[in-house]
Structure 1
Amino acid sequence: MSGKQTVGFIGVGLMGWGMAKNAVEKGFDLLVLAHRKREAVDDLVARGAKEVASAREMAEQADMIVLCVTGAPQVREVLNKPDGILAGAREGLTIIDTSTSEPDLTVKLHEDLGAKGITFVDAPLSRTPSHAWDGELTTFVGGPPELVARIKPLLDTWAAVVIPTEGPVGSAHAIKLVNNLVSIGYGAIWSECFAMTKALGLKPQVLRELVTNSGMNCGNFQNFAKYICEGDPSAHKFTLANCLKDITYYNRMATANNTATLISDGTLQALKQAKTMGYGEQFLPEFVNVFLKLNGEEPGPSTD
């Protein structure tokens, strides 16, 4: 689309593929970095994107670069490696980090890169890969109003709701960690409750029916219940390893702010147990398997 800025996109995985698809289809000139899953890259190129060989090459051409990577270590790597973003970055470049990362790192990058004429801003995400594909994500954005307004046309391509935090850069990553404690913490509660239901000799469908017809019914619960009741874990494609990473970040933030962590501590320990038991690559709805196994029950759904 004539007049649109050139956007680079790094991280076309479960969430990023749909986000990048929306950006290019809605008129942005898109650069995409080679990814281990060729399917996403090939699809985006077919839609009009241009593939580049390195983050350095991308930075030499882009006005904005979107990061949608796993977390803080991956953000550091893609910025600082020999052929990374900073090797090719020009003054005026804006880097939008949509990853779930650590607020302290975001603040430092904003300050350090700002001294070089490069803007670093946090705009993490909420909802699922299917929402990313449909352009219906929610995103939180830190920073002053003029910065939010400048990047909002791009965010609008994949987000139906854009929420300015009305706080500094870094505050979006902070509130994202709070949001993830809500969703992952509920996953821990649903897991323990469904495991208890089985220990009582009842079918999980009974608990689903009860909650569905109560004030606690919500999309989070319905997606979670699809695994234990129907055998479908893909309603929430977010691995327990990523859950562990996010709650670890939350606890570090809480420690830095000297706040109580009674709920997040329990969730963190349950996720560590999941990793120890080899369930790290299972999706959040499969968290129930940890509790079932600890109770001496056979892991897996009860679809009868």
Structure 2
Amino acid sequence: DYKANGYLCEVYMETTDGLNCYASVTCNDGKKEYNAGKETWNVCYQGGRQYFTDSRIGEFSITFREKDSSGQGLTGPVLQVKDIDNWMEIPVSNLAHQKWMDEDCAAHAGTKCPDGPYICTNLQYDTSKGRTRNWKCGVPMRGMNFPGLDSNKPTNARDYAPGWCGVHVTQFQKPNPAKDGYRLEAKIFDANQNEIGNSVAAGKTGSKIVFNSKLPMPFVVNSRAVDADPLDFEYGPERWDSNEQAAHHCKMGAYDNGKRDMDCGFRCD
């Protein structure tokens, strides 16, 4: 559900009368339609694979591999996304059927019925209710993960995925505020959410840490005077603190057992 999970998008697929192929991708930033006028889907027939590009999920394709029993409707859609295991096939109908069986199990007071998470669902397959067939699937945005679907953007020559990186910091309180400083530990994650730098592994600890990662420039985290103060960050020309939510989407937890955790994002082209 893209409404509940900001890193997911919904891919909707539809055919009517064995023709009129249509798709859309909806994320929290809006909906983009493909073949809205039902005239530009070049291979809207059984076995035809149509390619698309969406800035949120990347390149993807849809293939309708089957027809229904009456031979009037295209079915058996296979969704493929380039960034998910290099065009891994997502068998939409099979996954939707599994969801239906689990829900049917629960509806009939079954025990130990699985309850997801589910990737795809079938919206309309009852031939008595019309000749339109449609499905929808949840797909992670580029570089994000969902159980069974790991989207990975290409890495560069420095072996990291550029774009939007993240930093996770743990700040340990002063053992003796009168004489001790804070201790900081930080990890850097690339646009694929893979760890590409670690201050502890780099041998950097203390109230201010400057450490290298796979990124081309050092990353800096600095503490201030008291527990309530934010932390300061530096990467290249960028400067911000852990209270910055608009541009860097920082989230800071409360102290618990002598430490607190925080996360921020930053550009890492």
Larger helix fraction of residues? 1
TM-score bucket of the superposed structures, by smaller chain: under 0.3
TM-score under structure 1 length normalisation: 0.25
- Structure with more strand by fraction: 2
